[in-house]
Copies of this chain bind each other. A is one copy, B any other.
Amino acid sequence: MKWGELEDEPCSMARTIGVIGDRWTLLILRECFLRTRRFEGFQSSLGITRHLLAERLKKLVRQGVLRRIPYQDSPKRHEYILTQKGLDLYPIMMAIVHWGDTHMVDIRGRPLLHQHRKCGKDFDPVMVCSECGEPLLAKEVHTHPGPGARRTPASAAPEKPKAKTEAKARTKAKTKATTRRRAA
C-alpha cells in the first residue's frame, strides 16, 4: 500500500491518515492551531526542511485543510490558514496532546496548559458519546459495518486484478449496513 492509495481504503481512519498521517503534517497543524500562518514561521519553529514544508503546505491546501490567502502583492506573499475542515481537526490535536500529557511528561509536568474560555478553567479534553454524553471506553464500543463498508459496492471499480502477494484479507465488514446515522 503506497501513500496515495490510503485515500481509497474503505476506512475513515486510513483516509484521514492519508491526509494528516505523517509527523511533519501533524506538527505543521500544531503550529496552525498556535496561530502560525507564514512559511518562515513554520520553517523556523519546526526546523523542517524548506522543501518538505513547501510540499506539505501544498498538499494541505489541495486537501482543503488550509487555505492560501494573499496578504500582500509584489512580492506575492500568502498566509496559510485553517479552513473549517482544518479547524475540525482540533479534537484530533487535543486528543494527541492529552495522551502526551498523560503518558509522556517528565517530572516537571506539562509543557502547555489549556484554558477553556467558556468556564475559565484549565481543562483536559474528554471524549464522550454524542447520544448519552458518557465518556467513551474502548471496550464499551461495538464496531459494525456501515453503508460504505466494502471497497466496491458490487459495482464501481473492478479491483485491478493484480494477483501479487494477495494481501488484504479484510474480510471483516461484510456489508450489512444497519445504518441509522444522525447528522454528524
Q: Which residues of B contact A128 (CB under 8 A)?
A: 125-128
A179 at the binding interface (Cβ < 8 Å): yes
B92 with A92: CB separation less than 8 A: yes
Are B22 and A90 in contact (CB-based, < 8 A)? no
A85 at the interface (CB under 8 A from B): yes
Q: Is A105 positioned at the interface, with any CB of B under 8 Å from its CB?
A: yes
A side interface size, CB within 8 A: 103
Residues in chain A within 8 A of chain B (CB atoms): 1, 3, 6-7, 10-19, 21-23, 26-27, 30, 33-34, 43-48, 64, 85, 87-106, 108-119, 121-134, 136-138, 140-149, 153, 165, 167-170, 172-173, 178-182, 184
- Complex interface: chain B residues within 8 A of A165 (CB): 47
Shortest distance between the CB of A124 and any CB in chain B (Å): 4
Whether the pair B90, A136 counts as a contact (CB closer than 8 A) is yes
Measured between beta carbons, the chain B residues less than 8 angstroms from A30 are 11, 13-14
Q: A12-B104, A117-B142 are in contact. List 18 more A-B contacts (CB 8 A).
A: A6-B23, A12-B110, A13-B96, A15-B104, A17-B27, A19-B104, A22-B22, A44-B169, A87-B138, A88-B103, A92-B99, A95-B95, A102-B184, A109-B181, A112-B144, A115-B144, A116-B129, A119-B131
A26: chain B residues at CB < 8 Å are 13, 17, 21
A61 to chain B: closest CB distance in Å?
Answer: 15
Partner of A136, one of B18, B116, B180: B116
Checking B16, B109, B132, B149 against A147 with a beta-carbon cut-off of 8 angstroms, the contacting residue is B109
